[in-house]
């Protein structure tokens, strides 16, 4: 049949993961004060385990007609052309403004953009997935193997395993307002 390395590689995803890319979040820039009227500039840095893994110069222009944010950075130690990303906003019910990036590739309104191979785009344009999405499906193959021996569907096995895990984590409830029982020493 198959040789070494053949078969389903459930541990590897065809898509790259968001966690392996550098990401920028509109909420963070808003919190840092970049989206106040006028022009603001600064450097944003990415770190992993205390070590700097990358940085880029950021300049915002908020003038109510053409709100934008520009990124200047290097890729493979070569200067990359500046990328200007348009901004969109709306007024939530409690006042203020909530800002979003307009993806330079697809034009959709996104809260987070990602750097991958020197390009800035949203998660869908870069074909990225989250580690948790891949991780959760690893159990499916185990459930399928167990279901084969039990003559049951793998979905039934998975739901039963989830029920057992919930019961295992559950602590017994005690009535509210009632003191805990003291055990004799």
Chain segment 18-74, per-residue pLDDT in tens: 888 889 999 999 999 999 988 899 998 888 888 888 889 999 999 878 899 999 988
| Distance in angstroms (rounded) separating the CA atoms of residues 166 and 79 | 52
- How far, CA to CA in Å, does 114 sit from each of 8, 18, 53? 29, 8, 14
Domain positions in the chain are 16-123, 131-169
Residue 55 and residue 44 in contact, taking contact as beta carbons nearer than 8 Å: yes
pLDDT at residue 185 in the model: 60
Split at pLDDT 50, 70, 90, the class of 171 is: low
77 token code pair = 């130690």
Residue 19 and residue 130 in contact, taking contact as beta carbons nearer than 8 Å: yes
Split at pLDDT 50, 70, 90, the class of 97 is: confident
């Amino acid at each position: 049949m198959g040789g070494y390395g053949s078969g389903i590689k459930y541990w590897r995803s065809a898509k790259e993961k968001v966690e392996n890319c550098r990401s920028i979040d509109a909420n963070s820039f808003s919190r840092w004060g970049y989206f106040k009227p006028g022009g603001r500039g600064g450097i944003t840095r990415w770190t992993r385990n205390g070590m700097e893994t990358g940085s880029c110069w950021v300049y915002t222009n908020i003038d109510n007609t053409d709100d934008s944010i520009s990124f200047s950075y290097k890729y493979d130690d070569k200067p990359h052309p500046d990328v200007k990303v348009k901004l969109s906003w709306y007024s939530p019910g409690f006042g203020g403004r909530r800002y979003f990036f307009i993806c330079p590739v697809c034009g959709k309104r996104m809260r987070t953009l990602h750097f991958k191979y020197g390009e800035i785009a949203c998660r869908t344009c870069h074909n990225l997935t989250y580690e948790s999405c891949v991780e959760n499906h690893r159990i499916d193959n185990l459930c399928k193997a167990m279901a084969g021996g039990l003559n049951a569907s793998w979905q039934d096995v998975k739901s039963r395993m989830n029920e057992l895990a919930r019961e295992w984590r559950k602590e017994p409830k005690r009535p509210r307002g009632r003191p805990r029982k003291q055990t004799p020493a």
